[in-house]
Amino acid sequence: MGITQFLQQDDWKKEKHVPVIEIEGTVEKGKVVSIHLSVGKGIPHPNTTEHHIRWFKLFYHANGEKHPYHLGTYQFEAHAESIEGANKGPAKCEPDVRTSVLLEKPGQLIAMSYCNIHGIWENSIEFEI
Ligand code: FE2
């Protein structure tokens, strides 16, 4: 079995946990491209001490290769925790991040998001060069 039995998928326009992957511009050989990851683009996800998105992971699978490459893990650590209590703190991380990568072959970007209550969600997009 393993972890794959827990990976959940859906349409991000209907389900608030699905990571949304956006390539800003076009992927070209030898050119760094920006990848935007977010969640709740269709329906906002809560962001409270008790219920929030904890991390994203981003992978790249180049067409024809056996294994994916891990591009990054993006942690969201502050969710309004405070000595005064839950949701009283002055800092919250939004589950929204941009990263810059060089991708030399066409393939697929695969993202995972982790909600501390509702588990692991995944999404993927294909791209050409
Ligand atoms: Fe959730």
CB 118 within 8 A of CB 17: yes
Mean pLDDT, consecutive 10-residue stretches, the chain (129 aa), reads 93 94 96 97 94 98 98 98 98 98 98 98 98
Residues annotated catalytic, as ranges: 15-17, 45, 51, 115, 118
Measured in residues, the chain has a length of 129
In Å, how far from its chain's centre is CA 27?
19
User: What SS3 state is found at 42?
Assistant: coil
- In this structure, the dihedral spanned by the alpha carbons of residues 122, 123, 128 and 129, taken in order and rounded to 10 degrees, is -50
CB 53 within 8 A of CB 46: no
Q: How far is the CA of 52 from the centre of ligand 1 (A)?
A: 6
Q: How many CB atoms lie within 10 A of CB 89?
A: 15
What is the pLDDT, as a whole number, of residue 1? Answer: 82
Domain boundaries, the chain: 3-127
Q: How far is the CA of 63 from the centre of ligand 1 (A)?
A: 32
Q: How far is the CA of 40 from the centre of ligand 1 (A)?
A: 10
Return d(Cα 14, Cα 106) in angstroms, integer: 28
**For residue 126, what are its two tokens?**
């294909």
- Specify the CATH class of 3-127 in words: mainly beta
Q: How far is the CA of 106 from the centre of ligand 1 (A)?
A: 32
Amino acid at 84: E
Q: What is the pTM of this model?
A: 0.96
